[in-house]
Chain A
Amino acid sequence: MFKWRSDDFSWVDFIIDVLRVLIVLGVVIGAWNTLSSGRISFAQWVNLFAAGLSQGSIYALIALGYTLVYGILLMINFAHGEVFMAGAFSTVFLAEALNRTGFLNDQPLLAILLMIAFAGLVSMSVAILLERLAYRPLRGSPRLVPLITAIGASFFLQYTFRGLYGSGFKAYPGVKALQGVIKIGAINIPVVQVFVFCAALLLMLCLYWLVERTRVGKAMRAVSENKEVARLMGIDIDWVIMFTFGVGGFLAGSAGVINGLFRPQGVNFYMGFIPGIKAFTAAVLGGIGNIPGAMLGGLFLGVIEAIGPNLVLAGLGIPGANQLKDVIAFTMLVLVLIFRPQGILGERLSETKA
């Protein structure tokens, strides 16, 4: 990657290259220190990896919403994290109700399916309303305008839901079927992690089928390829864009339920902001606009976030390394944007797109 351009050497490149070397050095030294000290056993690494994969699959589900919208409108739907929050926060009440009737523990699969459908539909309506009211009037305006709108919409949604449901944390009830661990030799993997991963994978497969195999998926791909030509082919562009927001919203809402079952600390109105940025990171990591890329990017980010602090930061002698999880994720975001804005799977986009 070192390309020493003698003809147009610029000191910005130089600083960025120095940064690159420093980061590589830091990662290598940190990892070497941790691995040679043997502080963390193999089983613990596997546990971290599994936890990272489950967390990553939630990021991947949210990231798909970013990628779908970006693929079609070339805009970053910054408020997507809030769409995720809307579903997760609304479904807490349903989960409590289902828990109180006992249905949640009698028929966990059906109950969770109902919750996913409900959360998905709530998030979907929020996403569609957002598109209709905030983004549609701005189509074709300079690119920063929809971004600022999205930031505004993000805070508007956060505080709307704070006003509707209150500002406290609400926890999803525990599901008995998801407690316990699966033992493989010395390795214990919690059932809930397996469930999260499988559920997310299933949803992603559904999306893949929708986009690749159905008529409406074909229309989505056509619109993302070229709106004008798609219009000439008789595709209702507005409807397809709305549908895309809806699908992204549904995935985000279901991710909200899965996240709620996975993380016991509960949900509140601010829960979507950080996962939103992280999912955006995942989308960029995989190559924004690229559906398998978003899945891969999400998993990758989850794993890095789980392993990174323990492997690199702890190795560099930083105390409380796990507090800096988010720092790792955001540093990843910045690094990807600097060094490989096209992502892992993305092709280099033309200037108008990138």
Chain B
Amino acid sequence: MNMLRSQNLRIVVTVGLLSGAFILYTGAVGMIAAFHEREVVKDVISLGQVLLMLAPFASGFIAANRIGDGGAEQAAILAGGFAVGFITAIPTIVLLLFNSAEYRFLLELTLRVLPFVAATYFAWPMYRDGKDMRFVIGSWLAIAVLIGIVTFSFALIFEIKGDLRSVLVNINRDWVDVVTFDNRRELMTGILTLTIISVAAGLAGSVFRIIPTIPRRALLYGFGVTLLVGAFGETVRLILQENLDRDTMRELFQRDTLRQQPALMLLIISTVVGFLWAKFGQQVRTGFTSMEPSQRRVMNGVGMLIFAGILLMLPWLIGRTLSDVAVTIGIFVLMGLGLNIAIGLAGLLDLGYVTNYAVGAYILAVLTSIGPLGRLDGVFTFWMVIPVALLAAMFAGFIFAVPVLRMRGDYLAIATLGFGEIIGKLAISDWLKPLIGGAQGVQAIPKPIFLGAELKNPEQLYYIVLVASLVTLFVSIRLNNSRTGRQWMAIREDEDVATAMGIDTARAKLLAFTLSAATGGVAGAIFAAKVGTVFPNSFTVFISINVLSLIIVGGIASNPGIVVGAVVLIGMPELLREFSDFRFLMYGALLVMMMINRPQGFIPSKLVTHEVRAAVKAKVAPAD
């Protein structure tokens, strides 16, 4: 019994400290304060507060789950959730105290004591293991001095600078306001509020574990939907106002925020729906799978038709602002599908994908511009230049691919990254300024004209992106199932073996690079036509990283994964402006977490899943 308890204690402390660190981190980088600007439900809760509660709730649930799996009784589980909620609040409370004028001495005290405490913490195991006493003392001293240098420097900085905020820019009033729930003046009340809310959320997390599955799912569904609708209030409003009249809209929303009553209604309705689905969903699913194959085909066909209909009608359904976002997403879908040919199918990690994008954009800009840099006076139209842009990007892809054909893996990645940087610097340089405008870029790119009508709105441009994406999708699916696709697969798995099997690896790799470049070129050209101007600052390594992230998150070599990845990774920062400052923070964290926990992506391709399973099996049972 005692064993069990100490184990539970460890779970609680670890999980609690992790979520506490998460809260502290999001506060310190300014996420909480930024998200607080977005209200989920009018005058009830903001996205920042949701974040503050979600962390203890989730970690309370996780801890309760682990404790419960260990066979503890309900009281222990609840106590675990309670404790996790409490521990989650501690790091933030400590920072609040450090930040306040009255309790500043705590910071100074901590900085003075920390080196000795830390040195003892690290040296204690050595002493316990019976290492040589001189070694232990030496280590203790060394660690104390090293950490002492850091803490002394910090103390000096804070002494001279006066407060934390002059260094950590986001530990400011806004942050204090959010984490104390608007009790900046009475810090102790604020700390108490934070603790109570955190503990309540942690407790709720553990309660969540105890209640039976069906209500749990119903609640999860209800709160999840309400939260999403509230957070993306602006988006929902934009969609709804296309279809509803003004008065109804005013009852549902105040500006971009969900009002209280509609939010409550939504919560109830979605919980009921969630309940019904949790209760009867299984039957529906078994009903579907037990259908006759012919019936199933019909059902699938109907589903596909509805989906295609939605895709076709999308601009009318969502209005102009969101169509603009949809075009951006579409451009990235296009690039994702293109880069996937190199990364996913042929296994060539191309980090310079922005090169092709830039080539396509600049070709279109220079050839069609009616501004000072377009010397051709609009002789060429968008439709005539698209094939040119495609060929130019293919040519650029070819030129850049030849030198790197002999490189493998990481060298190839870094070399292509170098290409991307070279293109960026060339685009902004004085040397090419007469041609492509240097830092000012190329302006006055006309919109495409289709059957005499100018496609000047995103609603119309959407169709160009849609058609281009569908063509790319078709080509990449066909390629994947072709002889070339199998060659790429062989190269991806083992280049030496592929060569030994008689595959012309140079030719296959070149093909992968040029085809993927072609898509990038088209995406760039569409981008240039959409924006109407081309600046060198649009073509940085961030584009490549964006595309890479959506491929990795969605699932390498998985076409549906890439589409979903683009919608989520590109759409979310566009729709949730508070997010856009943190998009690369999020991408970076996602890349790391995906590689560690789920390298095949969220919507993996069947083949990759199969390969990963095989690899895991091989790892688990090496003796076979």
Contacts and interface: CB of A to CB of B under 8 A. Distances in A.
Interface of A: 10, 12, 15-16, 19, 75-76, 78, 93-94, 96-98, 100-101, 114, 117-118, 121-122, 134, 137-138, 141, 143-149, 151-160, 162-166, 273-274, 277, 280-281, 284, 318-320, 323-324, 326-327, 330-331, 333-334, 337-338, 341, 351, 354
The 10 A-B pairs with the shortest beta carbon distances in the complex, nearest first, are: A152-B591, A163-B29, A156-B588, A320-B430, A155-B588, A159-B585, A97-B160, A330-B418, A166-B169, A152-B592
B299 interface: no
Contacts, number: 189
A331 B590 CA distance: 31
A159 B29 contact: yes
Interface string B421-445: 1100110111100000000000000
A76 B595 contact: no
6 contacts: A94-B156, A97-B157, A147-B413, A155-B585, A157-B588, A280-B414
Contacts of B405: 12
Nearest to B421: A330
Nearest to A166: B169
Nearest to A113: B149
Main secondary structure of the interface of B (DSSP, over half): helix
B409 interface: yes
A100 B160 CA distance: 8
B559 interface: no
A141 B594 CA distance: 13
Contacts of B429: 320, 323-324, 327
Given A163-B31, A165-B169, 15 more contacts: A94-B156, A117-B149, A118-B153, A144-B347, A147-B410, A148-B349, A152-B588, A152-B590, A153-B592, A165-B168, A324-B426, A327-B429, A330-B419, A333-B415, A338-B403
Nearest to B167: A93
A141 B428 CA distance: 39
Interface residues of B, number: 65
A227 to B, nearest CB: 17
Interface of B: 25, 28-31, 146, 149-150, 153, 156-157, 159-161, 167-170, 347, 349, 351, 402-411, 413-415, 417-419, 421-422, 425-426, 428-431, 496, 506, 541, 545, 548-549, 552, 582, 584-585, 587-592, 594-596, 599
B455 to A, nearest CB: 35
Contact of B548 (A117, A121, A151): A151
Contacts of B595: 138, 145-146, 148-149, 152
Contacts of B167: 93, 165
A155 B541 CA distance: 11
Given A97-B160, A151-B548, A158-B584, A327 B414 contact: no
B414 A277 contact: yes
A94 B153 contact: yes
- Central interface residue in A12, A16, A122, A166, by most chain B CB within 10 Å: A12
- Central interface residue in B170, B403, B589, by most chain A CB within 10 Å: B403
A144 to B, nearest CB: 5
A281 B545 CA distance: 20
Contacts of A94: 153, 156-157
A299 B179 CA distance: 50
